[in-house]
Amino acid sequence: MDYKPQNVICQNCKTQFTIEPEDFNFYEKIKVPPPTFCPGCRMIKRMAFRDYRVLYRRKSNKTHDIIFSIIPQESLLKVWERDIWWSDEWDSLAYGKDYDFNKPFFLN
């Protein structure tokens, strides 16, 4: 079937999102209806299985893009996108500390 891109309003957050023709073909293939929630709201629903009580919409401390996290924006903890965290874009050794093997572990 020949589909055209369709703009839909999310039933949850009321933002507009687009369903592409390739998406319609996929939904038809797996025999499910097109989504009524935007990608962000669908992600929150998928993440709910982790049993976090609250998910916050916040800015990444690395790229300043909007992400979803269990850590609120007001926290002093730094939060990055998952893809950035697991990438080679940053040097994890920059956060390392020198270790003196002549001292007990907890004194280092």
Task: Name the residue ranges covered by the structural domains of the chain.
Answer: 1-51, 53-108
**21, pLDDT greater than 80:** yes
Closest among 20, 61, 24, 17 to 43, alpha carbons compared = 17
Give just the sign of the alpha carbon dihedral 80, 82, 85, 89. Answer: negative
pLDDT at 18: 96
pLDDT per residue as tens digits for the range 95-108 = 888 889 999 999 88
pLDDT per residue as tens digits for the range 56-72 = 999 999 999 999 998 99
**53, pLDDT greater than 80:** no
pLDDT per residue as tens digits for the range 36-48 = 999 999 988 887 7
Residue 52 has a CB neighbour count (10 Å cut-off) of 13
